[in-house]
Amino acid sequence: MPSIFAYLSSEVDWCEDNFQHSEVIAEYYNTISNVSFFLLLPTLLYLNHQYVQQRPFSAYSLAIMLLLVGTFSTYYHVTLSYVGQMLDELAILWTLALKYVLWFPKCYFPGFIKNRTQFVQLIGVTTVICTLMSFIKPVFNAYLLNCISLHLLYLTFQELKKCSNPRVHRIAAFMVMWWVLAISCWLSDRWFCGFWQRINFCYLHSFWHLLISIALLYCCPLFIYFDVVHEIPSFEPELEYWPSDSWPIALPYLALRKSYKRC
Ligand SMILES: CCCCCCCC/C=C\CCCCCCCC(=O)N[C@@H](CO)[C@H](O)/C=C/CCCCCCCCCCCCC
Ligand SMILES: [Ca+2]
Ligand SMILES: [Zn+2]
């Protein structure tokens, strides 16, 4: 029986040919494209520094989780080992759990939940159950994780219904566009690998890494905007672009001001 750390012991093998460009890296492009997660992290912290000052625990704990996601995803694609796959999936699961614990607005708590402490307990128990189940059939875990994105989309639409700020709608539209492109690459790599191999273009999973990082670049300012609206009433959140609103390519971020008007 192969060791759970052994190369290629994972039950999932992505479309890219193994050991094509290196003797030690199983999937070369799927590995190097993880650099996007390591670039995303300082970018988010730098751009949203005002929020980081207000909520250092939320920002830095999620940042550490994102660092782990990038590290484990890199290890996974280098080795395609069972341990790599589990670490990659569980890091994403616990990052999303933390994101719910820290950023989920109170007004969407289920009716039987009375306060945030109970909500944290509910998310904790659910995440532990999902963690245990993932050892039974890890491949289903990846689909489950993508379903969580659908719930995040639903939450976004609920918030947009209450908000008339065109900047919020614009950033949400970009987030959805990048997410649709990302998930299309992920699914296409999984389901139509034969086709991509025939045309000698097996890099869609590496495109997924890049595109989901870009989606997160929009998703994070949007969710911290909702967090400030609901949880920090002394501040007026504004979504702005770096380096400037007028540049054709610019990065969204959240600025905090003291004023009256809000969604
Ligand atoms: C101020 C700083 C804040 C930092 C906040 C960071 C929040 C990060 C939240 C989520 C991290 C998700 C990272 C995804 C990593 C993907 C790694 C990967 O590719 N793994 C695959 C195997 O290599 C695996 O098969 C992927 C499974 C599916 C993962 C689904 C992730 C959902 C991410 C949700 C993103 C929301 C974007 C927009 C939603 C509409
Ligand atoms: Ca492969
Ligand atoms: Zn990956």
Q: The complex's ipTM?
A: 0.95
In terms of Cβ atoms closer than 10 Å to its own Cβ (0-12, 13-18, 19+), residue 165 is: middle
Torsion, Cα 229 39 184 196, to 10 degrees, reads 180
Among protein residues, the one with the nearest Cα to ligand 1's atom 17 is 73
Ligand 1 site, residue 153, Cβ cutoff 6 A: yes
CA distances from 174 to 40, 62, 171, 181, 219 (A): 17, 22, 5, 11, 9
* pLDDT score of 110: 94
Cα angle vertex 89, ends 91, 140, to 5°? 150
Question: Which of 77, 88, 92, 193 to mutate to test ligand 1, by most ligand atoms within 8 A of the CB atom?
Answer: 92
Instruction: Identify whether the C-beta of residue 254 lies closer than 8 Å to the C-beta of residue 237.
Output: yes
What is the phi/psi pair of residue 241, to 5°?
-120, 140
CA angle 263, 109, 111 (to 5 degrees): 125
Considering the entire predicted model, what is its pTM?
Answer: 0.95
**Ligand 1 pocket check for 146: Cβ under 6 Å:** yes
| The predicted structure's pLDDT at residue 259 | 64
Task: Determine if ligand 1 sits within 6 Å of the CB of residue 55.
Answer: no
On the CB side of 94, CA atoms within 13 Å amount to 17
Q: Is the CB of 134 under 6 A from ligand 1?
A: no
Residue 6 alpha carbon to ligand 3 centre in Å: 18
Instruction: Tell whether ligand 1 has an atom less than 6 A from the beta carbon of residue 76.
Output: yes
Query: What is the pLDDT, as a whole number, of residue 258?
Result: 82
pLDDT along the chain (263 residues), means of 10: 90 96 97 98 98 97 98 98 96 98 94 95 97 87 92 96 96 98 98 97 97 98 96 94 92 88 54
- How is domain 28-257 classified at the CATH fold level? Rhopdopsin 7-helix transmembrane proteins (1.20.1070)
